[in-house]
Structure 1
């Protein structure tokens, strides 16, 4: 029968496996729900940050578009035109024109909170007119600020670490501009608005220009994080248009990085938040789930072991008692303290053992009586057969008036029957061989010394071995009757012994003409469990040694070296036999 998987496992691992089959899906479901919750929270937070970034960029675009619109309108301002083209203005006209222009510059400055100052650089005068001052154009500003920019994509100029919006007029490359309208952007205002917008703990934001020399940052961000972020933005300029966010690790800390670029201003807004801020509580929950899983596994093992002890100990005691019973120990009754199903099992087992002892006692007595009766029957089958042969021989030699032979036969026959009529059914091996020699002497008279019998010496330690009576003489009788009786030439019978540590083998062999068919027939008769009508002598011997020695008593038939029958009787040395 094919062994199923798990049949060899003890109950303890089976209990653990059963509990784990129930609990593991729950743990897996909990972890799965935690992962889904983490993804949901991450999605909600990232969407919120992205919406705020879009709002911030939109606000910047609206404010800067408004002030750039005013710049464009001021190109046609009369006062700017007068101041940049006429040199014949009186002091009063000049002063009034400057005053009116400053008023309009203040209006443009106040149009957006990010503007620090609004001014006009007039090349004819080499002067800068701002909201509150009239001064020379600072050295280096003219060449830097007179460059025309693409006001639809990147209107800013980075100069001296500041952000400027300029509009030179005319804006052709081949002419020196008459004047340049300019706006100086206030980094502090951008930073304040950035702080108000982001308002992030464990994170910050960064507003950068395509020119790496300008940036504004908010939040209490370590310098190493800011520098890494700037480098990341420079190396991955296309990131903002391809992905929503990415993970950035700095100093062993993971950050979520969001980037939104304004295509109208050429500015990029970057927001970074610690991963622990977004999904930290969910990670803690996941860690708790794992710790709970480990604790549950330990509890399962302890609980399984407790159940294992509760069930296994009485089962082990029951199995141990069954094994004692298998070995024939009928004192296998058990004592069990407690109540429950096992108490009932133990009581039933004890009653079974007691009943089994009673039945064995009854069967043993019956078998003993049957064994004695069978031994008596087998012995009675041997005696009449030999008696018939003896009387036939006496009749023959008496008819021939061979008085000496009659005396010899009757004397040997008397000794023979005195031996077999002894009350005991088992004797010493030495006595059995002596009786077999007496039988052989009688047969020599019958066959007129045509058949010679040779007896080897009995091993000394086996002389007193108790054996069933009449197990060697019937083998000699079989050799005379079936092996040598019809032989033309001289016959020979040998009785030998082979011993080892555990067994003694008695060998009776002759030099008769044994065919393969006859040998097969003899082996077939010996294999039967009931006495056959033919060759009853051999079967009776086999049956007697089996009744006396049990399975260790063996009788085997084979062919001798001289071609006749060879019978081997194996007698054990480690069992006393007897009834």
Structure 2
């Protein structure tokens, strides 16, 4: 088989490097889009649930005020025959009822009309002076539940949500046999105003929808667009709460719907997906463009390398072979002012500086080792910031000020610690404070999570590598607690074991199979590759560098039911001395 020249090798190498990067980035982009879509669905459903609860609360308050009105002594006088006779008492009763109804109809944020009618006397008191009421009206319009009907008003016919309360209470459609009827009529414009408030600052199009009556939209809605969207809902099988990706007018929408306590009514919200994923698509196109540009630059660079490097490289290889044979008197010809001029000059001095070079290489290896330790530490950074912002936004919208304050305090303590990259070591108690803040952040988002940190005081003053325990706790939450529906427990304990301080992290998650546990142990001692998660592997490598005695991470099943991860830290002489002094002081 013919050997590849330098130019061909560079092209192959570029392809090997770029193809995995493109595939990984494309996959990451799709995962990000899926995560954003799920977060958008959950956020919208939470907002809709809050809005429907607010709607139900207001309607319930209105109905309770109607019950209070029915119990008013003046309301009971409306069914008495004496109310039809003119007189001072009749005038005072009617005036008191009118004042009471006006007060009730203006006591809430919604505008609504109240009417009190007695089929016995034919008398009625109402806050709507443009409407007339009699037995014939209530025979045609009598509703024991909130019903959506069109009624006459001063501005023409308008839609109302109407419900009637009776005395005595009945569900029969015979209002002429009753003593008192109270009608509460809520204009549909209140719902439209609520939709307007819900849509403020958002890209979605909300509506209050009933399969038989259509939708109530906000006043400033695009009526042509909402008509298209309502056409999608005419035959849609609503069942409780849910969501679906729909298409209308050549555009995709995320449709979320929430069922209201008002029979048959749903709060539906359409969010155009292009406003959500446009930036991600643009970022993906820029990435493909940059990859293509990088490939072209690499090919041009390979051509230059082929012309100006390959021949000098052959001479350099010849000189290396002579040195390998022990011929330190061999010299390379130094001609011209090419890039290899300096290299050849230095090569000619190599035989005289062999010992010095070995010492330099040794020092360089020590520096590389320290740089590797810092590089491994810098890889361990939190990637859950967008979840924290979503939680803060949700708590702010719910008005939970105390939760926002507590959450941001823990978050600031967490990032204050993790961003101090100038130090490679820290005290154990500072690392435990970081873990406590990290667990508090998760416990506020996952109420079923609990934790227990039990590390003796005399161990807390020892020095350990920074950010060495937190990734293990994060792994327990992600792979143990979040995958279980039961109450979660994270336990962090510490003890002294001969010449090592031992920290144990356990969880009560679903556990791990025996074959998977053996596979995890074997992965710790393999070389890092693109198919392997870097979290626990990084911790294992950092422990090996720190201890210098072969002790890294170890794994075993936990008594709690999940996984137990053990970290061992070799105690230096000065640490052992501190421990001894502490023990004498305790005695």
Coarse TM-score class (shorter-chain normalised): 0.3 to 0.5
Q: Which protein has the larger Cα radius of gyration, Structure 1 or Structure 2?
A: 1
Q: When the two structures are superposed, what TM-score results if normalisation uses the length of structure 1?
A: 0.47
Q: When the two structures are superposed, what TM-score results if normalisation uses the length of structure 2?
A: 0.46
